[in-house]
Structure 1
Amino acid sequence: MDPVPYLDNLFGPQSKNLERALDRSTQRHALLVGNLANVNTPGYKRRDLDFNIVLEQERGMMNGVEVDRGSIRIDGNSVDLEQEVMQISQTELRYQTLTEMTSRYFSGLRNVIREGR
Protein backbone atom coordinates (compact mmCIF):
# COMPACT_ATOMS: atom_id res chain seq x y z
CA MET A 1 0.00 0.00 0.00
CA ASP A 2 1.34 3.43 -0.97
CA PRO A 3 1.79 5.68 2.12
CA VAL A 4 1.98 8.90 0.07
CA PRO A 5 -1.80 9.51 -0.16
CA TYR A 6 -1.99 9.19 3.62
CA LEU A 7 0.80 11.72 4.02
CA ASP A 8 -0.97 14.07 1.62
CA ASN A 9 -4.12 13.78 3.72
CA LEU A 10 -2.15 14.31 6.92
CA PHE A 11 -0.14 17.34 5.81
CA GLY A 12 -2.55 18.85 3.29
CA PRO A 13 -1.87 20.43 -0.08
CA GLN A 14 0.21 23.23 1.45
CA SER A 15 3.12 20.92 2.18
CA LYS A 16 3.05 19.57 -1.38
CA ASN A 17 2.98 23.11 -2.80
CA LEU A 18 5.90 24.14 -0.60
CA GLU A 19 7.80 21.03 -1.67
CA ARG A 20 7.22 21.83 -5.35
CA ALA A 21 8.27 25.45 -4.88
CA LEU A 22 11.47 24.37 -3.12
CA ASP A 23 12.18 21.85 -5.90
CA ARG A 24 11.69 24.51 -8.58
CA SER A 25 13.96 26.95 -6.75
CA THR A 26 16.63 24.25 -6.55
CA GLN A 27 16.25 23.49 -10.27
CA ARG A 28 16.48 27.17 -11.16
CA HIS A 29 19.57 27.61 -9.00
CA ALA A 30 21.26 24.70 -10.80
CA LEU A 31 20.49 26.24 -14.21
CA LEU A 32 21.74 29.67 -13.16
CA VAL A 33 24.96 28.25 -11.71
CA GLY A 34 25.42 26.34 -14.96
CA ASN A 35 25.06 29.61 -16.85
CA LEU A 36 27.67 31.21 -14.62
CA ALA A 37 30.03 28.27 -15.16
CA ASN A 38 29.68 28.73 -18.93
CA VAL A 39 30.02 32.52 -19.04
CA ASN A 40 33.12 32.19 -21.25
CA THR A 41 31.98 29.21 -23.34
CA PRO A 42 31.57 30.26 -26.98
CA GLY A 43 28.10 29.52 -28.34
CA TYR A 44 26.59 28.73 -24.93
CA LYS A 45 22.93 29.75 -24.64
CA ARG A 46 21.69 30.90 -21.27
CA ARG A 47 19.09 28.64 -19.63
CA ASP A 48 16.54 29.55 -17.00
CA LEU A 49 13.40 28.24 -15.38
CA ASP A 50 10.35 30.33 -16.23
CA PHE A 51 7.87 29.91 -13.39
CA ASN A 52 4.92 30.57 -15.73
CA ILE A 53 6.12 27.71 -17.90
CA VAL A 54 6.60 25.60 -14.77
CA LEU A 55 2.95 26.13 -13.89
CA GLU A 56 2.04 24.78 -17.32
CA GLN A 57 4.47 21.91 -16.72
CA GLU A 58 2.59 21.03 -13.56
CA ARG A 59 -0.42 20.60 -15.82
CA GLY A 60 1.66 18.32 -18.07
CA MET A 61 2.29 20.68 -20.97
CA MET A 62 6.04 21.49 -21.10
CA ASN A 63 9.41 20.87 -19.47
CA GLY A 64 9.77 24.36 -17.93
CA VAL A 65 13.33 25.06 -19.12
CA GLU A 66 13.66 28.06 -21.36
CA VAL A 67 16.67 28.85 -23.53
CA ASP A 68 17.27 32.58 -23.55
CA ARG A 69 17.71 33.97 -27.01
CA GLY A 70 18.41 37.47 -25.68
CA SER A 71 21.49 39.57 -26.25
CA ILE A 72 24.14 37.34 -27.75
CA ARG A 73 27.79 38.32 -27.75
CA ILE A 74 30.04 38.04 -30.78
CA ASP A 75 31.15 34.58 -29.60
CA GLY A 76 27.49 33.45 -29.54
CA ASN A 77 27.27 33.28 -25.73
CA SER A 78 24.12 34.83 -24.21
CA VAL A 79 25.20 34.85 -20.53
CA ASP A 80 25.44 38.22 -18.78
CA LEU A 81 27.60 37.79 -15.66
CA GLU A 82 25.94 40.57 -13.64
CA GLN A 83 22.45 39.34 -14.56
CA GLU A 84 23.29 35.77 -13.51
CA VAL A 85 24.69 36.86 -10.14
CA MET A 86 21.56 38.95 -9.51
CA GLN A 87 19.26 36.07 -10.51
CA ILE A 88 21.18 33.64 -8.28
CA SER A 89 20.83 36.03 -5.33
CA GLN A 90 17.09 36.37 -5.94
CA THR A 91 16.70 32.61 -6.21
CA GLU A 92 18.63 32.06 -2.97
CA LEU A 93 16.42 34.60 -1.21
CA ARG A 94 13.30 32.89 -2.57
CA TYR A 95 14.62 29.53 -1.35
CA GLN A 96 15.37 30.90 2.13
CA THR A 97 11.87 32.38 2.29
CA LEU A 98 10.33 29.07 1.24
CA THR A 99 12.34 27.13 3.83
CA GLU A 100 11.19 29.56 6.52
CA MET A 101 7.58 29.15 5.37
CA THR A 102 7.98 25.36 5.44
CA SER A 103 9.48 25.47 8.91
CA ARG A 104 6.64 27.63 10.21
CA TYR A 105 4.04 25.40 8.55
CA PHE A 106 5.38 22.27 10.23
CA SER A 107 5.83 24.11 13.54
CA GLY A 108 2.15 24.99 13.36
CA LEU A 109 1.26 21.35 12.71
CA ARG A 110 3.45 20.28 15.62
CA ASN A 111 1.65 22.75 17.90
CA VAL A 112 -1.75 21.45 16.78
CA ILE A 113 -0.65 17.88 17.50
CA ARG A 114 0.69 18.81 20.94
CA GLU A 115 -2.46 20.71 21.85
CA GLY A 116 -4.56 17.71 20.84
CA ARG A 117 -3.13 15.52 23.61
Structure 2
Amino acid sequence: MAINFNNALGIHAEALNVRSRRSEILANNLANSDTPGFKARDLDFQGILRGEYESRQRMELNRTSARHIPAEAIIEDSSLQYRIPHQPAIDGNTVETNIEQAEFARNAMDFQSSFTFLNSRFSGLSKALRDQG
Protein backbone atom coordinates (compact mmCIF):
# COMPACT_ATOMS: atom_id res chain seq x y z
CA MET A 1 0.00 0.00 0.00
CA ALA A 2 1.45 3.39 -1.03
CA ILE A 3 1.71 6.18 1.48
CA ASN A 4 0.26 9.50 0.38
CA PHE A 5 2.27 12.16 2.23
CA ASN A 6 -0.30 14.89 1.54
CA ASN A 7 -2.96 12.85 3.33
CA ALA A 8 -0.59 11.72 6.07
CA LEU A 9 0.81 15.17 6.89
CA GLY A 10 -2.24 17.30 6.25
CA ILE A 11 -1.83 21.04 6.15
CA HIS A 12 0.96 21.11 8.75
CA ALA A 13 3.82 20.99 6.24
CA GLU A 14 2.51 24.11 4.49
CA ALA A 15 1.74 25.70 7.87
CA LEU A 16 5.42 25.37 8.86
CA ASN A 17 6.47 27.28 5.75
CA VAL A 18 3.93 30.03 6.35
CA ARG A 19 4.78 30.28 10.07
CA SER A 20 8.47 30.56 9.18
CA ARG A 21 7.75 33.36 6.70
CA ARG A 22 5.52 35.12 9.23
CA SER A 23 8.31 34.91 11.81
CA GLU A 24 10.61 36.79 9.42
CA ILE A 25 7.98 39.48 8.81
CA LEU A 26 7.28 39.98 12.52
CA ALA A 27 11.01 40.11 13.29
CA ASN A 28 11.39 42.75 10.56
CA ASN A 29 8.59 44.77 12.17
CA LEU A 30 10.34 44.60 15.54
CA ALA A 31 13.70 45.52 14.02
CA ASN A 32 12.15 48.63 12.48
CA SER A 33 10.17 49.75 15.53
CA ASP A 34 12.20 52.99 15.71
CA THR A 35 12.31 53.69 11.96
CA PRO A 36 10.27 56.82 11.13
CA GLY A 37 7.47 56.11 8.66
CA PHE A 38 7.85 52.30 8.82
CA LYS A 39 4.55 50.47 8.36
CA ALA A 40 4.09 47.18 10.23
CA ARG A 41 2.98 44.26 8.07
CA ASP A 42 1.61 40.79 8.68
CA LEU A 43 0.33 37.76 6.79
CA ASP A 44 -3.25 36.65 6.38
CA PHE A 45 -2.44 33.14 7.62
CA GLN A 46 -5.94 31.69 7.18
CA GLY A 47 -6.22 33.08 3.63
CA ILE A 48 -2.88 31.59 2.64
CA LEU A 49 -3.83 28.13 3.90
CA ARG A 50 -7.16 28.34 2.09
CA GLY A 51 -5.20 28.93 -1.11
CA GLU A 52 -6.67 32.34 -1.85
CA TYR A 53 -3.33 33.78 -2.88
CA GLU A 54 -2.27 31.14 -5.40
CA SER A 55 -3.96 33.03 -8.22
CA ARG A 56 -1.76 36.12 -7.81
CA GLN A 57 -0.82 37.91 -10.97
CA ARG A 58 2.67 36.83 -12.06
CA MET A 59 4.96 38.08 -14.78
CA GLU A 60 7.81 36.27 -16.46
CA LEU A 61 11.17 37.99 -16.13
CA ASN A 62 13.23 38.71 -19.24
CA ARG A 63 16.30 36.57 -19.81
CA THR A 64 19.28 38.11 -21.55
CA SER A 65 20.87 34.73 -22.14
CA ALA A 66 19.49 31.28 -22.93
CA ARG A 67 21.59 29.96 -20.03
CA HIS A 68 19.69 32.04 -17.46
CA ILE A 69 17.22 30.23 -15.24
CA PRO A 70 13.61 31.16 -16.05
CA ALA A 71 11.97 33.11 -13.25
CA GLU A 72 8.68 34.74 -12.38
CA ALA A 73 7.97 37.79 -10.29
CA ILE A 74 4.86 38.18 -8.19
CA ILE A 75 3.43 41.53 -9.08
CA GLU A 76 1.50 41.92 -5.87
CA ASP A 77 1.87 39.88 -2.70
CA SER A 78 -1.70 40.22 -1.50
CA SER A 79 -1.09 37.90 1.46
CA LEU A 80 1.15 40.54 3.05
CA GLN A 81 -1.03 43.24 4.57
CA TYR A 82 -0.42 46.38 6.58
CA ARG A 83 -1.27 46.15 10.26
CA ILE A 84 -3.78 48.74 11.49
CA PRO A 85 -2.25 50.31 14.61
CA HIS A 86 -4.13 51.07 17.81
CA GLN A 87 -1.78 53.97 18.56
CA PRO A 88 0.45 55.04 15.65
CA ALA A 89 3.56 57.04 16.51
CA ILE A 90 3.85 60.73 15.66
CA ASP A 91 6.65 59.93 13.17
CA GLY A 92 4.32 57.68 11.14
CA ASN A 93 5.69 54.37 12.44
CA THR A 94 2.89 51.84 12.99
CA VAL A 95 4.91 49.18 14.86
CA GLU A 96 3.50 48.54 18.32
CA THR A 97 6.25 46.60 20.04
CA ASN A 98 4.05 44.85 22.61
CA ILE A 99 1.64 43.62 19.93
CA GLU A 100 4.47 42.49 17.64
CA GLN A 101 6.15 40.60 20.51
CA ALA A 102 2.87 38.91 21.44
CA GLU A 103 2.22 37.92 17.80
CA PHE A 104 5.80 36.66 17.47
CA ALA A 105 5.41 34.50 20.61
CA ARG A 106 2.03 33.16 19.43
CA ASN A 107 3.50 32.39 16.00
CA ALA A 108 6.44 30.56 17.64
CA MET A 109 4.04 28.40 19.69
CA ASP A 110 1.95 27.62 16.60
CA PHE A 111 5.12 26.73 14.69
CA GLN A 112 6.18 24.40 17.50
CA SER A 113 2.72 22.79 17.56
CA SER A 114 2.83 22.04 13.83
CA PHE A 115 6.41 20.82 14.13
CA THR A 116 5.51 18.49 17.01
CA PHE A 117 2.54 17.16 15.05
CA LEU A 118 4.68 16.51 11.97
CA ASN A 119 7.37 14.87 14.08
CA SER A 120 4.82 12.46 15.56
CA ARG A 121 3.43 11.73 12.07
CA PHE A 122 6.90 10.95 10.71
CA SER A 123 7.62 8.75 13.71
CA GLY A 124 4.38 6.85 13.07
CA LEU A 125 5.09 6.50 9.35
CA SER A 126 8.64 5.34 10.08
CA LYS A 127 7.34 2.73 12.52
CA ALA A 128 4.75 1.55 9.98
CA LEU A 129 7.46 1.16 7.32
CA ARG A 130 9.71 -0.81 9.70
CA ASP A 131 6.83 -3.12 10.67
CA GLN A 132 6.01 -3.83 7.01
CA GLY A 133 9.59 -4.66 6.05
Calculate the TM-score normalised by the size of structure 1: 0.82
How far apart in 1 are the matches of 2:108 and 2:46?
Answer: 19
Match of 2:12 in 1: 18
- Aligned residue pairs: how many? 109
Match of 2:42 in 1: 48
Match of 1:57 in 2: 53
Amino acid at match of 1:67: Y
Match of 1:86 in 2: 102
Aligned CA-pair RMSD: 2.0
Shift of the alpha carbon at 1:51? 1.3
Determine which structure has the larger helix proportion and give its number: 1
How far apart in 2 are the matches of 1:74 and 1:52?
Answer: 32
Larger Rg: 2
Shift of the alpha carbon at 1:64? 1.0
Shift of the alpha carbon at 1:16? 6.2
Match of 1:68 in 2: 83
5+ long unaligned stretches in structure 2: 57-76
5+ long unaligned stretches in structure 1: 1-8
Amino acid at match of 2:81: E
Identity %: 30
- 1:14–1:43 CA distance, 2 compared to 1 (3 A): farther
Shift of the alpha carbon at 1:14? 4.0
**Aligned with 2:85: secondary structure?**
coil
The answer to which structure, 1 or 2, has the higher relative contact order (CA under 8 A, 6+ apart) is 2
Shift of the alpha carbon at 1:26? 0.4
Calculate the TM-score normalised by the size of structure 2: 0.73
How far apart in 2 are the matches of 1:30 and 1:83?
Answer: 15
